[in-house]
């Protein structure tokens, strides 16, 4: 099969002057279509008997120089075919005739590729050509499915182009041509047209369908081309809790515009459920070999590990496939091989060149930036009990007993239990109005609850930062030894830390809460210290470290 790719590219352009030679993300715009064509040629000619030629039809001396410099043939377009009023049909016909006569061959297939479609991927073009050859169509045109409620003009009157108002996903397909490619049989190419009778469209993704016609198109294409492929490798299971998953989701929401996906270990059942709820692509792996296969195929620009400590062998493997590797809460031997290690929950450590410590790197959820702390109350009316999405040490049950004990002494206080969606003992922790205990399960906006509280009891993970942002004086019980190392939740930041929850008896908790309830001045000072901490810039710092390697 002899196939010819023609890239038409004039020098003149009214809306964006000289757009085909302008630099987009480091190279002239026309280079993107030429690179796609050359990559397709390499793949296409691997099949014996296939031959693919590439040529650019232009009337411009600068374009001529750019194209020849990159080893692509140039066809000098006649002046009469280089005006604004001339369609592409005679231009392509002229180019085909020129190539056939100069090379002494006949082509079976002609592909028109616009220079103004830089986001099109070679893999998409390859699939379209295979589809054309296998299905036997005369012509295949790149198109984007864009169903919309639309209106037109008929006999001078604005008229609807639909029968029934429906949501966009329920509307029939509405294919809009793009400049990506038009693949057609040679017999269909003439000075009057290039489309045969048996024609179809090849649907391409929206981000590959942008045709640069305006400055807003240009900006959009630049953003798409700068987009990075980012994979989050994280864990979420009972013994570890859900903090790692929640942090990754918080960052993923902030990285809008980039290509985001998740990988979780196969035993991360509760983490997998939460990620699926968020509609991000997610895969599970049983071991490092399966992870390696995914990385080998995807070749991410950035791999974010939120899996606790890493080994040297693991980091050596992932670094072969990811251009940049960023780890969270990693104090393992593999940490020094990461491009950056972010340990927001630790205030200090053995500082290496790639480590970033402290609460300034904590990524607080948007809801806590939007919610305003309530006014301080000298009287405690509401106490919050919250131990994260899973509460692996079941500290909730201990506090359920504590709150019943406190009710007799403080009958005017309401105790609010916020249970995470992965907490396994929901059936045992229920509303108990007689003791002013109220249970709320899988709350979607935690900040609105925190904002009503005068006091809280929590674990030593990310929730302490959220309570601090709301100015809620809190008593802290660590879930495990590792969590107990998170030193932010100390008196220096406005918290009363009772250490490991499993080792703290109920009477100590009762006495601590009694003291705080009866000493409003202490609670006010705790609140003032909490509110003096600044969390709004954490996202910016961390995202900059992930994407650019600097704050």
pLDDT digits over 227-280, tens only?
Answer: 999 999 999 988 778 889 999 999 999 998 899 999 999 999 889 999 999 999
Domains 227-364 and 369-531 share a fold: yes
| Chain mean position to CA 440 | 30
**CB 33, CB 119: distance < 8 Å:** no
The b/e string for 161-198 (b: 16+ C-beta within 10 A; e otherwise) is eeeeeeeeeebeeebeebbbbbbbbbebbeeeebeeee
Alpha carbons 72 and 38: distance in angstroms, whole number: 9
Kindly report the pTM of this predicted structure: 0.78
pLDDT at 167: 83
pLDDT at 241: 81
pLDDT at 155: 92
**CB 21, CB 62: distance < 8 Å:** yes
The b/e string for 224-263 (b: 16+ C-beta within 10 A; e otherwise) is beebbbbbbbbbbbbebbbbbbbbbbbbbeebeebbbbbb
Pairing of strands 139-145, 175-185: antiparallel
How does DSSP assign 312-350, residue by residue?
Answer: HHHHHHHHTT-SEEEEES--STTGGGSSEEEETT-S---
What long-range pairs does 263-269 form, CB within 8 A, spacing at least 24?
263/231, 263/232, 263/233, 263/234, 263/291, 263/294, 264/233, 264/234, 264/235, 264/236, 265/235, 265/237, 265/307, 267/237, 268/234, 268/235, 268/236, 268/237, 269/237
How does DSSP assign 122-182, residue by residue?
Answer: HHHHHHHHHHHHHHT-SEEEEEEE-----EEEETTEEEES-SS---GGGSPP-EEEEEEEE
Alpha carbons 415 and 437: distance in angstroms, whole number: 5
pLDDT at 240: 79
For 2-216, the fitting CATH number among 1.10.1130.10, 3.30.420.10, 1.25.10.10, 3.90.550.10 is 3.90.550.10
Would you put residue 334 in left (φ > 0), alpha (ψ -120 to 50) or beta?
alpha
Beta carbons within 10 angstroms of residue 297's beta carbon: 8
Q: Which of 243, 240, 275, 242 is nearest to 261 (CA)?
A: 275
Task: Give the domain ranges of the chain.
Answer: 2-216, 227-364, 369-531
**CB 284, CB 268: distance < 8 Å:** yes
Beta carbons within 10 angstroms of residue 99's beta carbon: 21
SS3 109: strand
pLDDT at 160: 87
Calculated CA dihedral for residues 202, 206, 208, 210, nearest 10 degrees: 110
Alpha carbons 91 and 94: distance in angstroms, whole number: 5
The CA–CA distances, whole Å, from 517 to 299, 301, 375, 380 equal 55, 51, 16, 6
* CA dihedral sign of residues 242, 243, 244, 248: positive
CATH topology of domain 227-364: Rossmann fold (3.40.50)
Strand partners, 355: 341
Alpha carbons 241 and 263: distance in angstroms, whole number: 17
Give me the count of residues in the chain. Answer: 551
Residue 50: φ, ψ to 5°:
-90, 140
Q: How many CA atoms lie within 13 A of 57 on its CB side?
A: 26
Residues of the chain with pLDDT under 50: none
Pairing of strands 340-343, 324-328: parallel
CATH class, range 369-531: alpha beta
Q: What DSSP element (H or E) covers 4?
A: strand 2-8
Alpha carbons 370 and 76: distance in angstroms, whole number: 60
* CA dihedral sign of residues 469, 465, 339, 261: negative
Provide CB contacts within 8 A for 69, sequence distance 6+.
Answer: none
**What angle do helix axes 520-531 and 506-518 make, rounded to 10 degrees?**
90
Alpha carbons 244 and 233: distance in angstroms, whole number: 10
Calculated CA dihedral for residues 511, 514, 519, 522, nearest 10 degrees: 60
């Amino acid at each position: 099969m002899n196939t010819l790719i023609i890239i038409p590219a004039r020098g003149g352009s009214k809306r964006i002057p000289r757009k085909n030679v302008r630099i987009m993300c480091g190279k002239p715009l026309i280079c993107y279509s030429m690179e796609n064509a050359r990559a397709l040629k390499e793949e296409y000619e691997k099949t014996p008997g296939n031959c693919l030629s590439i040529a650019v039809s232009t009337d411009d001396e600068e374009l001529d120089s750019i194209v020849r410099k990159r080893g692509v043939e140039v066809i000098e377009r006649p002046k009469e075919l280089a005006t604004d009023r001339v369609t592409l049909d005679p231009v392509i016909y002229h180019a085909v005739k020129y190539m056939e006569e100069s090379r002494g061959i006949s082509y079976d297939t002609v592909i028109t590729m616009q220079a103004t479609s830089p986001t099109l991927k070679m893999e998409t073009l390859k699939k379209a050509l295979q589809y054309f050859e296998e299905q036997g169509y005369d012509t295949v045109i790149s198109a984007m499915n864009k169903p919309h409620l639309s209106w037109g003009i008929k006999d001078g009157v604005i008229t609807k182009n639909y029968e029934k108002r429906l949501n966009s996903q329920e509307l029939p397909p509405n294919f809009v041509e793009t400049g990506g490619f038009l693949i057609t049989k040679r017999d269909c190419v003439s000075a009057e047209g290039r489309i045969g009778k048996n024609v179809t469209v090849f649907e391409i993704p929206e981000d590959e369908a942008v045709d640069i016609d305006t400055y807003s198109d240009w900006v959009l294409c630049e953003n798409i081309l700068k987009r990075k492929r980012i994979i989050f490798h994280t864990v979420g299971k009972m013994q570890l809790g859900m903090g790692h998953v929640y942090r990754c989701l918080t960052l993923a929401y902030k990285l809008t515009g980039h290509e985001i996906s998740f990988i979780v270990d196969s035993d991360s059942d509760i983490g997998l459920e939460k990620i699926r709820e968020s509609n991000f692509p997610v895969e599970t792996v049983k071991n490092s070999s399966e992870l390696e296969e995914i990385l080998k195929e995807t070749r991410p620009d950035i791999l974010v590990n939120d899996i606790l400590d890493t080994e040297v062998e693991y980091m050596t493997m992932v670094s072969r496939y990811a251009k940049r590797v960023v780890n969270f809460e990693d104090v393992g031997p593999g940490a020094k091989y990461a491009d950056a290690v972010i340990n927001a929950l630790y205030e200090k450590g053995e500082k290496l060149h790639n480590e970033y410590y402290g609460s300034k790197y904590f990524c607080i959820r948007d809801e806590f930036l939007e919610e305003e702390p309530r006014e301080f109350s000298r009287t405690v009316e509401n106490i919050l009990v919250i131990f994260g999405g899973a509460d692996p040490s079941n500290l909730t049950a201990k506090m359920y007993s504590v709150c019943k004990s406190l009710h007799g002494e403080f009958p005017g206080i309401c105790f609010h239990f916020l249970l995470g969606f992965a907490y396994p003992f929901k059936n045992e922790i229920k509303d108990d109005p007689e003791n002013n205990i109220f249970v709320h399960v899988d709350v979607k906006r935690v900040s609105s609850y925190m904002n009503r509280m005068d006091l809280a009891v929590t674990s030593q993970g990310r929730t302490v930062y959220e309570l601090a942002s709301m100015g809620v004086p809190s008593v802290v019980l660590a879930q495990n030894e590792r969590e107990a190392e998170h030193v932010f939740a100390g008196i220096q930041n406005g918290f009363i830390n009772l250490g490991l929850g499993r080792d703290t008896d109920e009477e100590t908790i009762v006495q601590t809460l009694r003291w705080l309830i009866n000493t409003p001045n202490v609670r006010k000072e705790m609140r003032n210290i909490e509110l003096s901490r600044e969390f709004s810039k954490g996202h910016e710092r961390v995202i900059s470290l992930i994407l650019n390697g600097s704050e």
